[in-house]
């Protein structure tokens, strides 16, 4: 007899096995990565979502804290064909429900056909279909999570590499992965990490050489303070952004964003540079994209699969953004030169 139930939008219920008990609700999405489960589960961009792994075995090289991207698990629940005991015990210690022994191919196919959808989960000895359906009915769409920034951002300013000799970076934390900060620090930048709602006065107090908008979860319109900061500082200081950061910059400068059908999530997304023709493989995790970059930003890179913008730039205003994750945790190292480019831009300002 099943002791876990996954209720999908449309009220179809799938039976499963409980590996970490509890109830959860959120937008169900999938990742195609077959490594990097520790990084994915600790990526703040998965906040308020239920993460389904398309690769069948998750946990075959254990759990090591040094691979974490943040200090906690962010998805509301994890779904896999099979979870090892190491991962199941880790998720249970984090009070994150986890289920396996279901056909994840079927779940992934439904998400691809119908798009990212609401989901409810009930797992454990008291689990029931009714509870999973009730969780589903209480679930909200990602666009409704207007205060999501508070859940993933630092509460007060943090400084990394305070004695560094490189550029001073003001990084607005909308849910930043730790590897983004590490990539800047490795290049000797002094990184001041500000809360998602930082003001112009806050940022100007450190006299930055670069304003950097991080990745993060959900709809970029829910990060209005970061967008306002971009509007105020554009032309005064170089700007960079990753993932949600690209979307925030585009919205702030007259562009438009939209929700994708099921997003880009995995470590094998091909991106073509329109100037060189070079194609690189990238790590991605986002459900929204730039629909129209506006008049101030040029599209410099596109996704080979669907032509969505992967890179935006304005040389006159010193702006470089990327939709993918150049720091490559987990994933390929093809695009690490992004950090060299933005820091070089900062050094010229």
If DSSP codes are grouped into helix, strand and coil, which group holds residue 111? helix
Whole-Å CA distances, 55 to 8, 84, 105, 159: 20, 13, 9, 37
Q: Is 145 a catalytic residue?
A: no
Catalytic pick from 110, 119, 243, 286? 243
Does 329 count as an annotated binding residue?
Answer: no
What's the CA gap between 276 and 15, in Å, rounded? Answer: 49
Pairing status of strand 298-303 against strand 256-273: antiparallel
Does 218 count as an annotated binding residue?
Answer: yes
Does 287 count as an annotated binding residue?
Answer: yes
Does 57 count as an annotated binding residue?
Answer: no
Does 315 count as an annotated binding residue?
Answer: no
What's the CA gap between 11 and 154, in Å, rounded? Answer: 37
Catalytic pick from 192, 196, 286, 325? 325
Strand partners, 322: 242, 311
Listed residue (212, 187, 237) closest to 321, CA to CA: 212
Q: Is 327 a catalytic residue?
A: yes
CB 231 within 8 A of CB 255: no
Listed residue (258, 15, 283, 267) closest to 129, CA to CA: 15
Does 46 count as an annotated binding residue?
Answer: no
Q: What is the chain's Cα-based Rg? A: 20
Q: Is 325 a catalytic residue?
A: yes
Report the 3 state secondary structure along 120-182: EEEECCCCCHHHHHHHHHHCCCHHHCCCHHHHHCCCCCEEECCCCCCCEEEEECCCCCHHHHH
If DSSP codes are grouped into helix, strand and coil, which group holds residue 240? strand
Catalytic pick from 38, 131, 313, 327? 327
What count of residues does the chain have?
349
Binding site for L-glutamine: residue ranges? 45, 216, 218, 244, 247, 285, 287-288
Binding site: residue ranges? 45, 216, 218, 244, 247, 285, 287-288
Mind telling me the catalytic residues? 243, 325, 327
């Amino acid at each position: 007899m099943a002791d876990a139930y996954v209720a999908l939008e449309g009220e179809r219920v799938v039976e499963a096995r409980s590996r970490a008990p509890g109830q959860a609700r959120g937008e169900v999405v999938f990742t195609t990565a077959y490594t990097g489960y520790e990084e994915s589960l600790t990526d703040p961009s998965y906040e308020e979502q239920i993460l389904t792994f398309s690769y069948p075995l998750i946990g075959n090289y254990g759990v090591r804290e040094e691979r974490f991207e943040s200090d906690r698990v962010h998805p509301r629940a994890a779904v896999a064909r099979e979870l090892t005991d190491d991962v199941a015990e880790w998720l249970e210690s984090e009070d994150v429900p986890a289920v396996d022994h279901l056909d994840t191919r079927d779940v992934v196919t439904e998400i691809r056909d119908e798009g990212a959808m609401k989901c409810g989960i009930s797992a454990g000895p008291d689990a029931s279909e009714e509870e999973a359906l009730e969780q589903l009915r209480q679930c909200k769409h990602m666009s409704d999570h207007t205060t999501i920034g508070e859940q993933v951002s630092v509460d007060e300013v943090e400084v990394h590499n305070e004695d560094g000799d490189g550029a001073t970076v003001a990084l607005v934390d909308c849910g930043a992965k730790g590897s983004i900060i590490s990539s800047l620090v490795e290049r000797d930048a002094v990184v001041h990490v500000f809360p998602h709602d930082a003001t112009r006065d806050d940022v100007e107090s450190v006299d930055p050489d670069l304003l950097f908008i991080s990745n993060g979860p959900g709809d970029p319109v829910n990060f209005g303070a970061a967008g306002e900061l971009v509007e105020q500082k554009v032309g005064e200081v170089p700007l960079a952004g990753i993932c949600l950061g690209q979307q925030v910059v585009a919205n702030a400068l007259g562009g438009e964003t939209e929700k994708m059908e099921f997003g880009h999530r995995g470590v094998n997304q091909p991106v073509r540079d329109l100037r060189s023709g070079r194609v690189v493989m990238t790590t991605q995790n986002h459900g929204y994209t730039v629909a129209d970059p506006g008049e101030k930003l040029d599209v410099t890179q596109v996704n080979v699969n669907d032509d969505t913008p992967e890179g935006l730039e304005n040389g006159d205003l010193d702006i470089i953004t990327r939709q993918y994750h150049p720091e490559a945790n987990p994933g390929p190292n093809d695009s690490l030169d992004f950090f060299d480019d933005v820091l070089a831009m900062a050094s010229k300002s």
